[in-house]
Amino acid sequence: MLDTPVHAWDDLEGIAALVRDHPWAVVVRVVIGRPVVSHIPILLDTAGADGPTSRATSARTATCTGAVRCR
């Protein structure tokens, strides 16, 4: 993944508001040389011991399931 610090956002309240207001992510991958786009729902857990956590899940492929830290 390309890490671009200029686009980093550490405002947890702002991130939580963004996920609440826009609960779908777009994942683009390449399959046999062509782009494939999937829309993935994002769930926000603000009660986690380590701070806010977002979870993305896909019913079609279990490999897409996981947790990503907000920061």
pTM, two decimals, is 0.54
- Tens-level pLDDT at each residue, the chain (71 residues): 677 778 778 888 888 888 889 988 888 889 899 999 988 888 887 777 776 677 776 665 433 334 444 33
Q: For residue 56, list its beta bridge partners.
A: 42, 66
Note whether 17 and 9 are within 8 A (CB).
Answer: no
Tokens of 39: 């829309």
